[in-house]
Structure 1
């Protein structure tokens, strides 16, 4: 988690948080990809320079799907997508879509859009948050005790929990809007096209 946050922070884009995701392929080091696999650790396409918002949105989703496939955690993502498609869960960005004017949302089902952070746990422990923030665990506990932690912390029994979305906001890590189909297409491509 600490490494993912660190890399995401380094590669964050200066564009709007509704569209920016940076190059998620950068999260996976080149040696993690097998020889001859389709996705590469870097891309010749700079998403922030693409003027067509729909194309940039699609590329960001496909890169994130390829990342999940490369990390071997796409089965959990597929379960989340199945819940979206069957209506047991709705996409979290319906209101944001009308404000963001994503052109593809008028074609695709708006309930199949969600924030990438919806796939992360809602809360992490104070130790993991301290690691992401670059401070020691004892310093984080001290800040919590004196009420100077930079964002709200929830007490859970004898430990503390930190909201992942609040931590992302603190680290200026954008939360991309993605579509189910784009994520699955990227994962399919990364797997070599096999279902």
Structure 2
């Protein structure tokens, strides 16, 4: 199992990315706005790697979205960033969570039909494959940095970058803004409105 692989963690029923694997134990960075701890160590057998979602399979992932996590940091100020989570609940609803700066994420709302459709449409056009191991310009103190993970239909896609974005990321940010989050995308990239 590779570092940064997107996985489902049986112990939590949630998702995470592999941080390290040593002697059959995986340390997983959890992708969960409600998690008490950021990392969890579990036997490798309790971690299920997700099949990689390529651009042509993003429609299927979007149609059965289980999790989306977008983190953006802007400039050198820690308070200038944000995180947005969309996750499927046990009753099959999608809910939106939001955090600004270093604050803990809070539940904002359940997605309504039109909001879920707009997000699914944006995800269908998202191409993270070239950004899976990073991309964009070299990191710089005044720039913006992003990471995104999404999972659904037993598949996952992830990527990260600096001062540049993959095809479709702007549409994802605009779909999130359409849900009432205080976001805009301009010449400086995505940031708080």
**Greater C-alpha radius of gyration:** 1
Structure in which a larger fraction of residues adopt helix = 1
Higher relative contact order (CA closer than 8 Å, sequence separation 6+): 1
Between Structure 1 and Structure 2, the one with more strand by share is 2
Under TM normalisation by the shorter chain, which class is it?
Answer: under 0.3
